[in-house]
Structures are given as C-alpha cells and as structure tokens.
Structure 1
C-alpha cells in the first residue's frame, strides 16, 4: 500500500504529476553526511528558476562558495558553477564580489522533492538529499498544528488538527500524538505496510473511524493519500502542511506564536476579596 506513495505513480489519472519542485532548503551529498564540517548545497526553485549556492573548499583548504542558476526542466537542470571573490567581509565597507572563474558545469536530476543526484565538475554522480536536522523520526516531532487538504474524485476536503497529547506506541509505530479531545491522532510508522510514513486517523464521538491520512513529509510539508471510513486508500491526493512547530511557533510568513491575552479577573478578584473578609476565616 505505502509503495503507492513512494513511487507517486498515476496519482489521479494519466498526466497528473510528471514533475515536482525540489524542496527549498539545505541539501547535502548523502555520502558526505558524517557529522563533520563539509560541503553543503542551498537550493531554491521559484517557478522554473533554479538557484544553487554551494559552500566548499579550494584544493589548498581555504573555504569558498559557488553560485549556479538555470532552468529546471523535467526535474533536471544543468548550469555553470561560478566562483566569486573580492566581496564584502566582516567589518569591511561596501565591496562587490566579482566572478573569479567558471569551475565547470553542475548537473542535477531530482527523483523527488527531497532526493536527487548531482554531478559536479570533475566528479562522478552522487546522491543528494534535503537535510532534515530539526525533526527526527520520533513522536515529539509531530506535535503542533497541521493542515490536511485532499482533492481528487471525491472533491475537495480540508481539516486542521492540533496535536498536543502524547500517547503509547502501537505495534507498528513509535508513539501516538493526539488532539486534546482524543479524536484525531498521528504516528510515525516503523514497521508494516506503512513503514517510513505517518499514519493519522480521525474518529467520531463514538470512536468509529471517519477517515485517515497516510503521508510522507519533510520538515513542514508532506504528501500522501486519504483513507476512507473502511481504512482503504482512495485516490484522493493529500497535501499536508505543518502550521506550527511543536512549541507553537508559526512556520509561515505572517502568523507567529499566539500571544496570550490577559484574562478579565474582575469577578475572581471580587470573590477573593469577599472570601477574605468572611468571619469564618478568623
């Protein structure tokens, strides 16, 4: 069942999804991810414009950076890797960096929004991936407010869930995180048909399954499928978005951590005053 999500094949019929955007953020060469300082890739794609900033080292060990820009077509891009020098340094006045040479052509091909391959000048092709350093595959990382939007043959649906309550682990997961009413919950799946993904369920007040979601996500965004009341996977594509972090800080560009308003304690103050003056306390 979960292989359907991994392959992203024929989501809602022929011609639905053939291309995707690499997720913006820090990427790494997976074989070089050893916990020590190394090379890194900052990737951003807006519309079809691909921008890469790469920090690396010269053959003498000095740090340097490169910039590459190109057009993303059919999940691939090829662009000159330009080196720069002479720009502003810490404490300097205004300085403008200048192109200091073309290191060669960098070629990228993406296999999903968070995985792909790069061929750098003078190197063989290497696997790359979006670097997830803030959200481990563990129950606490699911805390926060999530938005689920599904669309497809069943129309358009949406709901928001606030996961705040920690629960036990099931036989196939590593710990449930639920809403305060206990009617919505999610869990990372570590074994079984959904291993590697997140499974969520919505119950009604009688404890009966209303629907479910099965998805994979990276940092703040996920994709998957809607499950019906029988637990079967539908062809409803689900887009998942983390709206707040586990500490309730907004992940968007406008909304932030909710400020706690001061309650009106007039009646509380009056009750305390009345109680304090009663003779029964003497």
Structure 2
C-alpha cells in the first residue's frame, strides 16, 4: 500500500473521535453503481471497513480508451453517514509475474462523496458525474441459514446475559416469522415482518407480540445485523418501540445463539455443515 494512502488513513484515524455514536456503518465488500449491474463486466466500488468508521474505497472501472482503471481513497465517516475522499491513481507497480517494484502516485482523479442511508445503500457522486445510487452487491443467498431453531441468550441495558431460551425462524424470499420461547418452554414473543438482505446479514421490521405471564404487549421491532455464520452461530440486534410512543428511544437487545442440529442423541448437537448446506472443508480450521 502506498505511503500516500497510509497518510490518508492516519488522518482518518485521527478524526475518528468526531464520529457520532449512532453512525451508519457500511457493510464491507463489493458495491454496484446505479443501474449498471447487468451481468456484464462493468464498474464497481470496493469498500473496506474493519470494525470502525474509517473506510478505504477502491474504484474499478475504465478509461475513455477502454483500458481498465483502479483508483483509491480513504477517509472517515462524517456526521455518521457521509464519506468524502479524493480518488487517486497509481502507476508503475509490480506486474503479474514481474519483479518486485514499488508503485507511485500518478494523479488525482477528483473528489468522491458517498452519503449512506443504510449499511447497504447510499448515494455516490463520482468526479464529473451526477449523484447516483450505490448498493451492496448481493451474490449469495444465505436465507437457508436462518431456518433453524437456536438456543440463545441476550443482553439488554446491563452487562449480563439473560436466561437461555430458544428462537425459531421461518423465512422465505422477503418475509420473516419467528417464535421466541423461554427456557421453561412458554412463548415469550412472536414476530412477523419483512426480510431484507444486507450483505452477509439481514434486517427485518414488523410487529412483535410479547407475553408477560397472563398479559401481553405489542411492539414495533427492528432486527439489525441478523446473521448466522458458517459455524451456525446466531448474532443480531433487536430494537423494540412501543407503538403508542414511536418517537421514544428504542429498547435494544443484543442476541447470541447457536443452531440446533438435526442429529438426536442424549443431548442436542449443534448443527453441522450438512444442516447448513456447506462444504465440510469450511469447518476444518485446525
């Protein structure tokens, strides 16, 4: 990586403390520009974010003569949603199969601005172009990982986990139904809402009916970063609002769990690669 890009990153890190706590943090990965996603070779944006608000942006596209081009920029989110940087071109780096050689600064292509409205959608303004939509490129369908029962626990306002329970999801193309049960087996909450892919996770908004003994209460819910990884581990953030007071700050539950497998024994095994429809080689880390 060039010294110039390192310098841009250092400046971005120095500005980190000014980022609001409720920033929209974009999903790392490949993003498509406007309506250019048509199955043919085209342009795109690669965004890398490593858990904070500092971004490295790589643009890949073409020059006017048709030759390929890549540009880079780095910076920090401003006002919790806006990225501003300068796209920079480099040259004379190491070629495929060639001898080691350091690249060097070629020229600045111009300013780039991205205004995020969610973790997977935004508006981008490229040099010499009008603002256009930018969206996370979705190339794999991970919905099947949600269709399990999970042993789970959660944390709310205090730094401790609640008693364990179970939550069962049933999802299809764009809807989610879930039933949450206490460790005693009684229904705690029932959820019904939409389902939207957000990179390697999902979001869902809808209504929840939660039970407290003989009484129940309806809530508006929003599930963020709903994800089941390659090892069957569930993580998510559940936000709840009272429907009569939607303007109030939502209540947050951080949820973690593990999916139940199909094999029965003295105890219930966690799910395995065959349950998740994965290549068993993905589990061979050791």
One fold, TM greater than 0.5? yes
The separation in 2 between residues aligned to 1:129 and 1:224, in whole angstroms, is 18
Task: Name the structure 2 match of 1:78.
Answer: 84
Aligned length: 211
Relative CO higher for 1 or 2, CA cutoff 8 Å, sep ≥ 6?
A: 1
Closer, same or farther in 2 for the Cα pair 1:82/1:149, shift >3 Å?
farther
TM-score normalised by the chain length of structure 2? 0.60
1:237-271: per-residue Cα shift (whole Å, max 9, x none)?
Answer: 66533122733469xxxx95269xxxxxxxxxxxx
Which has more radius of gyration? 1
Closer, same or farther in 2 for the Cα pair 1:56/1:27, shift >3 Å?
same
Task: Name the structure 2 match of 1:232.
Answer: 218
**Shift in Å at residue 114 of structure 1?**
0.5
**Shift in Å at residue 200 of structure 1?**
2.0
Closer, same or farther in 2 for the Cα pair 1:115/1:151, shift >3 Å?
farther
Cα RMSD after superposing both structures: 3.9
Residue pair 1:149, 1:239 contacting (<8 A) in 2 also: no
Task: Name the structure 2 match of 1:27.
Answer: 31
Q: 1:45 aligns with which of 46, 49, 66?
A: 49
The separation in 2 between residues aligned to 1:108 and 1:86, in whole angstroms, is 29
Task: Name the structure 2 match of 1:262.
Answer: none
**Shift in Å at residue 208 of structure 1?**
6.0
**Shift in Å at residue 204 of structure 1?**
7.3
Closer, same or farther in 2 for the Cα pair 1:209/1:160, shift >3 Å?
closer
**Shift in Å at residue 140 of structure 1?**
3.4
**Shift in Å at residue 30 of structure 1?**
3.3
1:210 aligns with 2:188: yes
1:91 aligns with 2:113: no
The separation in 2 between residues aligned to 1:147 and 1:102, in whole angstroms, is 52
Q: 1:60 aligns with which of 51, 65, 72?
A: 65
Task: Name the structure 1 match of 2:170.
Answer: 186
**Shift in Å at residue 231 of structure 1?**
7.7
The separation in 2 between residues aligned to 1:57 and 1:160, in whole angstroms, is 53
Closer, same or farther in 2 for the Cα pair 1:145/1:70, shift >3 Å?
farther
The separation in 2 between residues aligned to 1:204 and 1:34, in whole angstroms, is 47
1:198 aligns with 2:176: yes
**Shift in Å at residue 218 of structure 1?**
2.0
Secondary structure of the residue that 1:20 maps to in structure 2? coil
Q: Which runs of 5+ in 1 are unaligned?
A: 1-15, 162-182, 191-195, 260-282
| Structure that is richer in strand per residue | 2
**Shift in Å at residue 206 of structure 1?**
10
Closer, same or farther in 2 for the Cα pair 1:157/1:185, shift >3 Å?
same
Residue pair 2:59, 2:70 contacting (<8 A) in 1 also: yes
Q: 2:201 aligns with which of 221, 224, 238?
A: 221
Closer, same or farther in 2 for the Cα pair 1:147/1:64, shift >3 Å?
farther
Secondary structure of the residue that 1:88 maps to in structure 2? coil
Task: Name the structure 2 match of 1:117.
Answer: 123
Closer, same or farther in 2 for the Cα pair 1:67/1:97, shift >3 Å?
same
Residue pair 1:78, 1:108 contacting (<8 A) in 2 also: yes
Task: Name the structure 2 match of 1:134.
Answer: 140
